[in-house]
Every structure is written in C-alpha cells, then in structure tokens.
Structure 1
Amino acid sequence: MSDQLTRAAELLFDAHRLARPVSPLTQSFPGLTVGDAYAIQRLNLARHLHRGAVQCGHKIGLTSAPMQQLLGVDEPDFGYVLDDMVLADGAAVPTGTLCAPRVEPEVAFRIGVPLRGPGVSAADVMAAAEAVAPALEIVDSRIADWRITLADTIADNASSGAVVLGEWVPIAEAPRLPDTTATLMVNDSTVDTGEGAAVMGDPAEAVAWLANALAAYDIAIDAGQFVMSGSYTTAAFVVSGDRASAHLSGLGTVTVAFE
C-alpha cells in the first residue's frame, strides 16, 4: 500500500501544481481509508516543506451538519495552511491557478500559546487565542467535478486552496463567537448567511476538536499559527471576474477578487 499512497500523493501534488484535476482517488485506489488519506496529506505536506514552504496554520472542514450528512460522517476533517496560501484582504487571485474554486466565510483564530491535545476545551482555546479575524477560505478540489468522498477530500488537504485574512481583533475585544453572523456575498448579491453556532455550536469548539485530533499524530497547534475554524454558510462557486466578500458581525469584512 505504501507505493500506492506515494503514487496518490504524486497525482494530487501534480494536480495542484498544474491546476488540472484528477479522478477520485477512491476510484483509482480502491480500499483507500481515512487513515491512508491523512498519510497522503502528510506526504504532500512534507514535499511542500522540503521545497521551502512554511506551515503557518491549520484548517478545519466539514464542521456543518449538512456537509457531514452529505459525506456520511459525524466529525470534521482537517488540513494544513502554508505561507504561500495566505492572501491579504482585497487580494486578486488568478483563477487559472485553481481547479474549481468556491468561497466560504469563517473566523480565524491566532494562537498565542501552544495547544496540544488530548483534553483541550473551547475555554482552553479562548485562553490560548491572541486574536480572531474575519476570513474567507477559498476551497478548491483537485478531484474532478468535486466528486469527493471523505477520503478524497482529506487526501486533498481537506480541499483547501487559499485563505484571505481580514484585520485581527484582540480576543478581549471580540464578540461572543457563537452569536456572530456571517454574510457571504458574490458580486454584491447575498449568497447565504449563517451563525457562529453553526460551527459545532461554537467556532472555539471546532478549534478544540482540531487540537485533540492532531494529538493522535503528536502534533500541536503552535504559538503564532492560526486556525481556520470552519464555514458559517454554504460554499459559493466563483469564476474569473467575480468579487467575493464576507462580513462577520463584530469582526469586520474581508474581500477577494478573482481574475
């Protein structure tokens, strides 16, 4: 199986580099498990780091009940965020570098002291967080036509593409996150609205889940890293010429353009 995992990782790495999607891995490699998928993800993380990238954060996916039901799972998944995936508010993204991008509004947590599971709680997350920020995640699937199973999306770094971060708000000045609302807009039209409580009841609960899930791999959320905690709403497809924004109540607005 190790040769198959290496081959699967190479297919995804090339699909990302060339922005050319591939068939579902679960079809090409029958019997692929969730454990195999995380192994593939780690192989490509190591490849990126070897080439000079720096891991600056983590992302959590599948935090909403509808998405979990769609893939037949009862918990989220996770991936990594590299420095070259982070975009400034108002950035322009060449769509030719992506396969089939979508946007999601989220809150990002900047961690001030390491979080290492097991046993991390939402209260621990809030105590460890320095600041939070409104954010847009650009999700993208290197699996053709988003025909993903859980193993496919995990192997594909939880379908991550890039993240756009707004202004950081000190944690002491942040509103109660479960009560915040997010409005996702594309080209001045409202796509969807959602509440922070849609993210596992509280976005801080999602970060706690991540810290505890990472403990199985002897990984901590390090000081200085940030965590994309999961989408408040549905994900909207975007194409060249679109402009997307997310407004999170009490936190601010973040925007990105596609060209």
Structure 2
Amino acid sequence: MIDIVKISEIVDEAARTATGIPQFSDTRALGVDEAYAVQSLSMQRRYARGEKRIGFKMGLTSRAKMVQMGVEDVIIGRLTDEMREEEGGIISVADYVHPRVEPEIAFLMKKPLSGVVSMLEAMDAVGAVAGAIEIIDSRYNAFKFDLGDVIADNSSSSGFVLGNWFAPDTDISNLGMVLSKNGRAMEIGSSAAILGHPVRSLVSAARMVAQLNEELKPGDIVLAGGATAAFAVAPGDSILLEVQSLGQVAFNVGA
C-alpha cells in the first residue's frame, strides 16, 4: 500500500524548503486519485501553518504546454496567499527550486461556482479578468515528472503575479500575449491557446473543484493556464508580460 500521508509530508517539505526531490514514479507511479489525495493533504499542512487558500490554477491547458511536459491531461492545483507576488516587485529565487514563468489569464470570482456549467454560466460568476504571470516550480529533480508526480506537487503551482483587473465583459477569446525577459520577447502567443478559449478552462475548474469536494468562492482567483511554453528565470532577470486589452504585468528576479 502506498503511504499517502508520508508522500504528502515529503512534497510539503520540499515546497517549504525549496528542495528538489526524486520522482515518486521512479519507484511506484501515483494514480490520479492518489495524487490529488496527496495534494490535498500537503495543502492542509500549509493551511495549518497559516496560509489561506485564495483560488486555483489550471495546468496543461495549452498544446504547447502539453508538448513541453509530454502529457495530455488538464490538471488543477490550489493557490494560497503566500504564493502571490507583488506586481512590479522582486521575487527571490531562494523561494524556488528551478522557477519558470508563463503567461496566463486570471479570473476573479464574484459568485460561487462548481459542477458542470456552460461558458455563459461560468462567466456570469466572474467579477473581473486580468493578465497574469504564473511562476511554476516543480520540486522534482531536473523538472521531470509524470502526471501523478505533478498533481501531487500541487500541479507545480508556486507563485503568481497579477496585472490590473478589467471588466468581465472584456473579450479575452483571442488576445495577443508577449512574455519578455530582459527586453527580449521569449514567448509570443494568444489567449486562444488556452483550450481554444480561456473560459473553457474556468468551466473545467468548476467541474474539477466539485470533484475535489470544493467550490470556487467569491474573491477566489483562478489562473486559466499557460498560453505558451514556460521558460526559466534567474537572478537579475526582468520579466514583462504584455497582453492585448489587459495591459502589462512585470516583476524582477532577485538573489
């Protein structure tokens, strides 16, 4: 029998101390249900230390991301208040094992949402939309993992930076997105790369939180998933995301 509690402790400690760990799949692959059980228990440890759940992130929602990670399934992870970084501020690489960034669309919920919903029903529960940068950080050595590994590791959720909020009726279906490092465009894409439309990711989030016996609550933030492949950042880097109609999001990387 696999020890879900022990694995959750290992994952939590790796995230807390920014320490790389071997893949669990090296010895015994985790099933999806087992992996979400590990994620839930590891997050409970974080809540017990005082962190507050403030939303969810969707993962593997673009073809580029699926190709990059070699998997096909959409996944979900939790966001906490400790993961939010200041827009225009400085992040410390000491808080991460091997941080990477990707461009996203964020939703701010104004109504509860869970279960099977339509795109219109999902957007009716949204209070605002924004551009965002997610800082992903697999705690596994060499950034290598299988599906069960990454889900157990909170779907690589580690940090995020939000831009300004805009009205929910802003058209986000096909927005140009340019993610730059030190003034050089590293990734260029469109919000349409997120499941064909970012709202489809919110629909998936509603369904998946219900399966986890949770719900999207008013005030929750939902990151729709990367619109492009991710790239690594290092001390001294300046990161800028420009999103058509949603303005800019930026931060710097410190030691």
Pick closer, same or farther for the CA change 1:69–1:193 going to 2, 3 Å: closer
The question of whether the paired residues in 2 share the 8 Å contact of 1:106 and 1:136 is answered with yes
Match in the other structure for 1:219: 214
Match in the other structure for 1:51: 49
- Tell me by how many angstroms 1:66 deviates: 3.6
Match in the other structure for 1:91: 89
Match in the other structure for 2:13: 14
Report the Cα distance in structure 2 between the residues aligned to 1:149 and 1:84, rounded to whole angstroms.
26
Match of 2:131, as an amino acid?
A: P
Match in the other structure for 1:115: 113
Match in the other structure for 1:141: 138
Aligned counterpart in structure 2 of residue 233 of structure 1, from 228, 244, 253: 228
Report the Cα distance in structure 1 between the residues aligned to 2:252 and 2:197, rounded to whole angstroms.
29
Match in the other structure for 1:170: 167
Q: Is the aligned partner of 1:197 residue 2:192?
A: yes
Report the Cα distance in structure 1 between the residues aligned to 2:26 and 2:8, rounded to whole angstroms.
14
Report the Cα distance in structure 1 between the residues aligned to 2:156 and 2:44, rounded to whole angstroms.
17
- Tell me by how many angstroms 1:25 deviates: 1.4
Match of 2:14, as an amino acid?
A: A
The question of whether the paired residues in 2 share the 8 Å contact of 1:186 and 1:245 is answered with yes
Match of 2:16, as an amino acid?
A: R
Deviations along 1:156-197, whole A, 9 cap, x unmatched? Answer: 00001101011111213x2x2122111010110000111111
Report the Cα distance in structure 2 between the residues aligned to 1:195 and 1:256, rounded to whole angstroms.
21
Match in the other structure for 2:147: 150
- Tell me by how many angstroms 1:70 deviates: 5.3
RMSD in angstroms over aligned alpha carbons? 1.3
Identify unmatched segments of 5+ residues in structure 1.
none
Match in the other structure for 1:63: 61
Match of 1:122, as an amino acid?
A: M
Report the Cα distance in structure 1 between the residues aligned to 2:241 and 2:122, rounded to whole angstroms.
23
Deviations along 1:132-166, whole A, 9 cap, x unmatched? Answer: 11110000010011111111110000001101011
Aligned counterpart in structure 1 of residue 251 of structure 2, from 226, 232, 256: 256
Match in the other structure for 1:130: 127
TM-score by length of 1: 0.94
Pick closer, same or farther for the CA change 1:158–1:190 going to 2, 3 Å: same
Report the Cα distance in structure 2 between the residues aligned to 1:167 and 1:224, rounded to whole angstroms.
15
The question of whether the paired residues in 2 share the 8 Å contact of 1:184 and 1:233 is answered with no
Report the Cα distance in structure 2 between the residues aligned to 1:159 and 1:115, rounded to whole angstroms.
24
Deviating runs (4+, > 6 A) in structure 1? none
Match in the other structure for 2:178: 183
SS across alignment from 2:173: helix
The question of whether the paired residues in 1 share the 8 Å contact of 2:105 and 2:224 is answered with yes
TM-score by length of 2: 0.96
Deviations along 1:82-103, whole A, 9 cap, x unmatched? Answer: 0011112112011011000000
Identify unmatched segments of 5+ residues in structure 2.
none
- Tell me by how many angstroms 1:31 deviates: 3.6
The question of whether the paired residues in 1 share the 8 Å contact of 2:64 and 2:228 is answered with no
The question of whether the paired residues in 2 share the 8 Å contact of 1:33 and 1:151 is answered with yes
Identical positions, percent = 33
SS across alignment from 2:54: strand
- Tell me by how many angstroms 1:211 deviates: 0.6
- Tell me by how many angstroms 1:73 deviates: 4.3
Report the Cα distance in structure 2 between the residues aligned to 1:85 and 1:116, rounded to whole angstroms.
23
